[in-house]
Each structure stands twice: as C-alpha cells, then as structure tokens.
C-alpha cells in the first residue's frame, strides 16, 4: 500500500545523490576553468552510469531551482517529472510529484544551512 510512496522517496534520494556528485564535478570543472563538464545523469536508477555533456552555465541554472535536474531524455519518468528543456544529449526536468519535490528540496545542496 505504501510501496508507491516508498519508491518515490527512494527515487528522490537516489537523484539527490547524483546531484551531490555533480556538485563536486562542477567545482572541479570551475577550478580548471572549463566551460563544459561530463555530469552524471540524475535519474532515479542508482545503477545508471550515463554521462551527459552539459555546459557549466546551464548546469548552474538547473541548480538554482532545487526541483530541476539534468537527465538522459530516455530516463525521464513522466509520473514524477516533466521535461522543461530539451537539449542536445540531455534534458532538464522539473519534479512534479509532491513527495519527490518535497524530498529533493529538503536535500538541496545549495540551501542555506538552517
């Protein structure tokens, strides 16, 4: 009965973990002054090892909103997220599922510490 909610919670946590990894990738790329980086696909599959080439400026825009993520377009799950931008090789999605959106907001790596 609660399995659907549990699954969404797990998805949100997996995606937030990929986001944390990407934050490190962005930091490193900035240090090397590159304009683009190979980011991890931020989908809900914990075994996903897909790399996406995303310009750093675009990545920064995605991170400004804690409910947006970068994904391989083929990994988008329409039940929990909606594509807001189609790009070459990746898509930007916004979490539309309430449970998922709440969790990813709570885990926002750029949120001010309370």
Q: Please report whether residue 17 would count as binding Zn ion according to CB under 5 A.
A: no
Q: Please report whether residue 48 would count as binding Zn ion according to CB under 5 A.
A: yes
**Which range of residues in 5-13, 43-51, 85-93, 101-109 is near Zn ion by CB under 5 A?**
43-51
Q: Please report whether residue 51 would count as binding Zn ion according to CB under 5 A.
A: no
Nearer Cβ to Zn ion (18/103):
18
The Cα–Cα gap between 113 and 3 comes to 31
The Cα–Cα gap between 108 and 52 comes to 21
Within positions 53 to 82, which residues make up the interface with Zn ion, using CB under 5 A?
A: 72, 75
Cβ atoms of 21 and 112 within 8 Å: the answer is no
Specify which residues 86 forms β-bridges with: 91
């Amino acid at each position: 009965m609660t399995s659907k909610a549990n699954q969404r919670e797990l998805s949100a946590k997996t995606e937030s973990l990929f986001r944390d990894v990407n934050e490190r990738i962005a930091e490193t790329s900035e240090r090397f002054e590159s304009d683009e980086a190979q980011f991890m696909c931020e989908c809900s599959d914990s075994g996903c090892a897909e790399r996406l080439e995303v310009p750093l400026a675009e990545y920064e825009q995605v991170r400004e909103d804690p409910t947006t993520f970068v994904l391989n377009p083929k990994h988008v799950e329409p039940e929990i997220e909606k594509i807001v931008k189609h790009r070459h090789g990746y898509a930007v999605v916004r979490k539309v599922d309430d449970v998922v959106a709440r969790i990813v907001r709570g885990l926002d790596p750029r949120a001010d510490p309370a």
